[in-house]
Homo-oligomer: A and B are copies of this chain.
Amino acid sequence: MRTNQTFSCPIEAATSFIGGKYKTIILWHLVNETLRFSELQRAVPKATPKMLTQQLRELEADGLIRRVVYPVVPPKTEYSLTTLGESLIPILEGLRNWGAYYFDERGIPNPCIDGNQ
């Protein structure tokens, strides 16, 4: 694991994995899809390359995503969910549905434009 801190409850443990600033969005975009770094940048435009790299490294250290580097020129790196990462999908779907419900309730148009929602 990334840290060897102790948690006082399972909720705290879970949020230590997905509580990072862009982690849920990153994971969500990797559901059923392998993406390259530049594709993730486009998917999460608010994250600077530095931030994106940092979050990806933590997700990798926590065993939620897999990073595969191809030794080619120009460089190519692919990110995808591990089995542990896939076990979070129900929670990610719950967050998505809650957010969409919240938008609907207020008549706010869902701003998602990509097919992955």
User: A residues bordering B, Cβ < 8 Å?
Assistant: 6-15, 17, 19, 24-25, 28, 45-46, 87-88, 90-92, 94-103, 110-112, 117
Contact = CB atoms under 8 A, between A and B. Distances in A.
Contacts of A90: 94
A62 to B, nearest CB: 10
Contacts of A98: 10, 14, 87-88, 91
Q: How many copies does the complex hold?
A: 2
Contact of A25 (B12, B91, B97, B99): B12
Given A7-B99, A15-B95, A17-B102, 6 more contacts: A7-B111, A9-B96, A14-B96, A14-B98, A91-B91, A91-B94
